[in-house]
Structure 1
């Protein structure tokens, strides 16, 4: 079976996606045990986007996303231990236990959140791209948002400015077909979200989000254009979440048949099939990957359980900045 990608790439995709899947499954289990509180949005089913994005970008590129952020954060390099500790609200978490599920962050790794306000990251993502352009780097920004956020006014204002200034940003709509429990067809006359780019003469494309290969190729084209000074691109990556919008969502607005149809295209299964069909992996190697991932997730839980809570003097740190202005007279 011939492929456009190497054995090493498929092995990377498989182990990364398996880690993301098992981490999210464990997070869902721990939420049910009330170890994790508050909001919690799982990425199960959408892992091919994170995997394809990683192989299509370089370390200096920046990621920014919405509140379904666990998987992209881990893919970008934040450890499973720091992420689990953040879900627990512990001081060792990637946001010091003060951000929780929706606000993962790591500046050094180029992961800028995790944003709880729907669509807020779209404008901020363009701002990050402006900074890269101003500093003269060849880094680009991947700005992820959902199909629900595509209804926000922020998107249109940002698209206009990004095209006007030819910012090095790739806008990625992770279209999982439902904004909470509302289908795209009930909220928009434009069912092909990538066509929103036409109003700004921005390149747009529709990508199969259940395929690591398609995601990689689509992002690679867009990010090359961004680096070369061609400006932004809108990618509508059509994907599917197997769980509800959040842990409190029973997802009764979908049929079992619909969910099963997408599970037949599970990116984890497809990548493993490619590895097996090409005889690139043995049963023993599959088991070794499973054990490695299982151990990493279990270690993340142990780390979170044993980590301390934030101290009281951390309450206002990273929230307010006190600045003295000598020209202001009391």
Structure 2
């Protein structure tokens, strides 16, 4: 039975169903992020990626579900765990991987690396290394949208480790005061840099953090792309209607350490295995599609295609030239 234009029942409890076509698109996008990050981890282990590298493995449903609720012109900004946001924004795997390896063909010409690349063309305003700093910049993007008279929204991603930073609360205040169209997305993966949320925050319901400023908040199953999409649509509609900011707490999980240098010994292997086995966002969508009648060979072919794209990006990055030494002085000071 063809269910392309019909809704497919999902197993989650937080949102409405998506069409099979939407689930297929989400499956592809999440696979691309997963395979890209796995390859980035390999290249880091081969010393082809320098500096820091924070992988997004396990959290794919968050960015994919939110991006499905946005449209062209909406703006994104996030922290250093940023590769997933780049890919769903439409930045090419080749360009992102080239930047990770410090090549001239990368989005920041090899000078930004994993933590500091951006694309104005794709309305992605960067990964940022200072914890919580991007939130204040995010409301600046939202202010620009409102000032120009558009109904575009800005999405500011940050983690549970940044949720109690002072500039985050200052941003809440200004966004609420000026009714800025900003969606604050807390990616609560349960651990900051080696510290669980229970040990780092007196408040455990982070979606309520905007209540003093009247910012509505919602906690969402961040491992369920359909639930994320439904919540994103609600937040986007709220912002486009001129009602001010919205706060989403995405309950998610990262499978790897905080960064590639983190052995993640502060949690048990059993905990990680349990999430992988019972809550993996990609496996969840796979089962939904199989139950809807999608052939398993179709999904395997999609994975083969994604792996080829990622391998091509890695080959492109490794064969691209490094920046000319003269580039050290460009893009630093603007003489006007």
TM-score computed with the length of structure 1 as normaliser: 0.96
User: Is 2:206 the partner of 1:199?
Assistant: no
**Equivalent-residue separation in structure 1 for 2:125 and 2:208 (angstroms):** 27
**Equivalent-residue separation in structure 1 for 2:331 and 2:227 (angstroms):** 39
Q: Residue 63 of structure 1 corresponds to which residue in structure 2?
A: 76
1:150-161 correspondence runs (5 A) = 150-161=163-174
SS of structure 2 residue aligned to 1:309: coil
1:287-322 CA distances to partner (integer Å, 9 max, x unpaired)? 220111011001101110111111122112111112
**Equivalent-residue separation in structure 2 for 1:149 and 1:2 (angstroms):** 35
Aligned residues: 322
User: Is 2:18 the partner of 1:2?
Assistant: no
2:253 to 236, 240, 244: 240
2:289 to 254, 275, 297: 275
User: Is 2:128 the partner of 1:131?
Assistant: no
**Equivalent-residue separation in structure 2 for 1:188 and 1:16 (angstroms):** 32
Q: Residue 119 of structure 2 corresponds to which residue in structure 1?
A: 106
**Equivalent-residue separation in structure 2 for 1:226 and 1:158 (angstroms):** 16
- 2:142 touches 2:154 (CA, 8 Å); kept in 1? yes
SS of structure 2 residue aligned to 1:142: strand
Q: Residue 161 of structure 2 corresponds to which residue in structure 1?
A: 148
**Equivalent-residue separation in structure 1 for 2:307 and 2:201 (angstroms):** 41
1:105-134 CA distances to partner (integer Å, 9 max, x unpaired)? 000111001001100100000000000000
**Equivalent-residue separation in structure 2 for 1:148 and 1:2 (angstroms):** 34
For residue 282 of structure 1, report the CA deviation from its aligned partner: 1.2
- 1:175 touches 1:238 (CA, 8 Å); kept in 2? yes
RMSD in angstroms over aligned alpha carbons?
0.9
Q: Residue 166 of structure 1 corresponds to which residue in structure 2?
A: 179
1:76-105 CA distances to partner (integer Å, 9 max, x unpaired)? 000000010001000100111110000120
1:41-94 CA distances to partner (integer Å, 9 max, x unpaired)? 000000001110111111211110000000110110000000100010001001
2:222 to 194, 200, 209: 209
1:218-237 correspondence runs (5 A) = 218-237=231-250
- 2:80 touches 2:116 (CA, 8 Å); kept in 1? yes
In structure 2, runs of 5+ residues without a counterpart are 1-7, 11-16
SS of structure 1 residue aligned to 2:18: coil
1:37 to 50, 54, 64: 50
1:260 to 273, 279, 284: 273
1:124-157 CA distances to partner (integer Å, 9 max, x unpaired)? 0000000000001111011000011112100111
- Which has the higher mean CA deviation after the structures are superposed, 251-260 or 77-86? 251-260
**Equivalent-residue separation in structure 1 for 2:248 and 2:318 (angstroms):** 39
For residue 187 of structure 1, report the CA deviation from its aligned partner: 1.5
Q: Residue 27 of structure 2 corresponds to which residue in structure 1?
A: 14
In structure 1, runs of 5+ residues without a counterpart are 324-330
SS of structure 1 residue aligned to 2:218: strand
- 2:9 touches 2:288 (CA, 8 Å); kept in 1? no
- 1:70 touches 1:104 (CA, 8 Å); kept in 2? no
For residue 261 of structure 1, report the CA deviation from its aligned partner: 2.1
Q: Residue 310 of structure 1 corresponds to which residue in structure 2?
A: 323
Q: Residue 284 of structure 1 corresponds to which residue in structure 2?
A: 297
